[in-house]
Amino acid sequence: MEKVRQRLDATDSRITAALLASPRASWRTIAHVLGVSERTVVRRAGPLLQDRTLRPTVVRNPARFPELIPLALRVRCRPNRIRAIAATLARRSDTVWVEVLGGGDEICAVLFLDSTDARNTLLLRDLPATPAVQSWTSHVLLRVFPAGFDWSGGLLTATELAGLRRDAPTPPVPAPLLPVDHQLIDVLTEDGRASYTELARRAGTTPATARHRLEALVDGNVVRLATEVDLALLGIRAEALLWITVAPGGLEETGQRLSRHRQVRFTAATTGPANLLVAVAAADLDALYVFLNDTVGALAHVSTVEVTPVLAGVKRTGLVR
C-alpha cells in the first residue's frame, strides 16, 4: 500500500509550488529559480512524483475545441448520497473537477461536454433519472481567465515565477489540430512530465516532432499544463468557490484582477444569476475573510457575492483524488 503523505517540509513545498506554476520546468531551471542544487530538486521531487503526491497533467482549453461545451454544474442532493453522486461524477471522463460544497448537500462539477447531445443527455435524462438528486443549475463557462494558470499557492515570489515562465512567442493564429496532437494530449493527460522520447513512442512520431507539437499546443493555448496536489499539504486550510455578480461592463476588468491574486487558482465568466466563478485557496478562515473584505470588497463593479466553502475535492484537473 502506498504511503500517504502527511506533510511537506519547506523545500518540498517550494519545489511543489514550482511544479504547480510550471509543470514541465526542467530540474535545472527549478534549482536555479529556488536557489538550491539540481541534485536536491531531483532527490526531493522524484519521490513526490513516484508516489503520486504530485500528478502532472494537461487540461484542454475549450476555446480551442469548438465542439466542447464547458459547463459548471451545481447539484443539490440528499446528504446521505452525496459521496456516491460525487464519485459517479468524478468517474466521468468529461469532468474536470468535482467538489463537495459547504452545507454537505451540494456538489459543484465542471465538465467539458463533447456535444450538445451529451449536454442534453446529462441535464434532461441522467440527472432527472437520479432519485438522490434534488435540483441542479448549469452555468456555461463563457471565458476562463488565464492569469492564474501559473498559480503557486503564494509560495513563490513574482521574480521566481518570472524565472519559471518560458518565453513564448505571440500565440499563433489557431490552426486545425493534427492527429498527432490528440495523441500527445492523451499521453500528457496521464503524465504531464512524460519525456519527449516517451511522447514520441506513444504518439508514433519523433522526439523532435513531439517537442515541436507540444510547444505549439502550449504556446497556442490549446492546452494548459497543470499539476494536481492535495493543497492541504501546502498549508491551505480554507478553500471556497465564490459566485460573484458583476456589472456587465466591469466583467473583464474584475475577472482579470481577481485571476492575478495569489489566493485565486481559477476564474471564469459564466452564465446564470452570478456571472463570475472564482476558486479561492487561503491559508485559513481569517485569510479568506481578509480576501473577501479587502480584495473583493474593494472591487467597484461587484454587487453580490455568494461564498460556498469546499468540504472535499473529489477530482481536480481531470484527475480523481
Q: In the prediction, which pLDDT does 167 show?
A: 64
Q: Cα(16)–Cα(296) distance, rounded to whole angstroms?
A: 28
How many CB atoms sit inside 10 A of residue 210's CB? 25
- This prediction has a pTM of 0.90
**Three-state helix/strand/coil letters over 268-289:** EEECCCCCEEEEEEECCHHHHH
**292-310 burial: b if 16+ Cβ within 10 Å, else e:** beeebeebebbeebebbbb
Q: In the prediction, which pLDDT does 173 show?
A: 63
Q: In the prediction, which pLDDT does 175 show?
A: 72
Burial of 252: CB neighbours in 10 Å, binned 0-12, 13-18, 19+: middle
pLDDT in tens, the chain (321 residues): 455 566 899 999 999 999 999 999 999 999 999 999 999 999 999 999 999 999 999 999 998 898 999 999 999 999 999 999 999 999 999 999 999 998 889 999 999 999 999 999 999 999 999 999 999 999 999 999 987 778 888 899 999 999 998 765 566 566 788 999 999 999 999 999 999 999 999 999 999 999 999 999 998 889 999 999 999 999 999 999 999 999 999 999 999 999 999 999 999 999 999 999 999 999 999 999 999 999 999 999 999 999 999 999 999 999 998
Residue 84's contacts (CB-CB under 8 Å, 6 or more residues apart) are 132
Helix (H, G, I), strand (E, B) or coil at 190: helix
Q: In the prediction, which pLDDT does 321 show?
A: 83
- The three grid cell numbers given for residue 224, joined into one nine-digit string: 494548459
Q: In the prediction, which pLDDT does 95 show?
A: 96
How many CB atoms sit inside 10 A of residue 49's CB? 15
Structural domains in the chain, sorted by start:
144-150+233-313 (3.30.70.920)
Q: Cα(129)–Cα(126) distance, rounded to whole angstroms?
A: 5
Q: In the prediction, which pLDDT does 4 show?
A: 52
DSSP H helices in the chain? 10-21, 27-34, 38-50, 82-91, 116-121, 158-164, 179-190, 196-203, 207-219, 251-259, 285-290
Q: Cα(23)–Cα(19) distance, rounded to whole angstroms?
A: 4
Q: In the prediction, which pLDDT does 1 show?
A: 41
Q: Cα(107)–Cα(101) distance, rounded to whole angstroms?
A: 6
- The three grid cell numbers given for residue 25, joined into one nine-digit string: 520546468
How many CB atoms sit inside 10 A of residue 287's CB? 17
CA-CA distances (angstroms) from residue 114 to 24, 94, 134, 274? 27, 8, 25, 25
